[in-house]
Amino acid sequence: MSSSVDTRALEHHLEAIRKKHEESRDPVVGQLRSMVDVMKRKDDAFEPMYRQLSTIVPTLQSSVAQMQASQQKMEENLKQSLKRCVLSFLLFVDCVSNFIPERV
């Protein structure tokens, strides 16, 4: 058990030394590594928001679908009401025209 811990510590230490040597030979590698580390930290910071969005999006989609259904129902009701109003108006005009004498 102790030897595996020692081995891991040694590997970690050697990897750190290798990275330092690589960065000293090519400073761009170090800059890229630090940029990758920053991006990883930012991604980790955004993870809770990603999870929240994954639950919010289906809720929004459901709400939009309900609103579309309500809109369609309202449009249909409006069409029916408009038809009734037009028919009532036409009946009214027909009735009134019976009481108006015709011009000769």
Contacts of 23 (CB under 8 A, 6+ apart): 29, 30, 33
Chain segment 14-68, per-residue pLDDT in tens: 988 888 887 777 888 778 888 999 999 988 888 888 888 888 999 999 999 999 9
This prediction has a pTM of 0.45
Q: What's the CA gap between 74 and 95, in Å, rounded? A: 31
In terms of Cβ atoms closer than 10 Å to its own Cβ (0-12, 13-18, 19+), residue 30 is: middle
Q: What angle do CA 80, 85, 87 make, to 5 degrees?
A: 95
Q: Where are the domains of the chain?
A: 2-73
